[in-house]
Amino acid sequence: GENVEQHPSTLSVQEGDSAVIKCTYSDSASNYFPWYKQELGKRPQLIIDIRSNVGEKKDQRIAVTLNKTAKHFSLHITETQPEDSAVYFCAASTTGGGADGLTFGKGTHLIIQP
Amino acid sequence: EAGVAQSPRYKIIEKRQSVAFWCNPISGHATLYWYQQILGQGPKLLIQFQNNGVVDDSQLPKDRFSAERLKGVDSTLKIQPAKLEDSAVYLCASSFPQETQYFGPGTRLLVL
pLDDT digits (tens, 9 = 90+) for A40-57: 999 999 999 999 988 999
Q: Are A22 and A74 in contact (CB under 8 A)?
A: yes
Interface of B with A (CB under 8 A): 31, 33, 35, 40-45, 48, 50, 55-56, 58, 91, 98, 100-106
Of B47, B59, B48, B111, the closest CA to residue B81 belongs to B111
Q: How far is A105 from chain B (nearest CA, A)?
A: 6
Question: Touching check for A27 and chain B: CB below 8 Å?
Answer: no
pLDDT in tens, B54-109: 999 999 999 999 999 988 899 999 999 999 999 999 999 999 988 899 999 999 99
Choice between B86 and A95, residue whose per-residue pLDDT is larger: B86
Is the predicted pLDDT of residue B35 greater than 80, yes or no?
A: yes
Q: Are B73 and B24 in contact (CB under 8 A)?
A: yes
Classify strands B107-111 and B10-13 as parallel, antiparallel or unpaired: parallel
- Split at pLDDT 50, 70, 90, the class of B1 is low
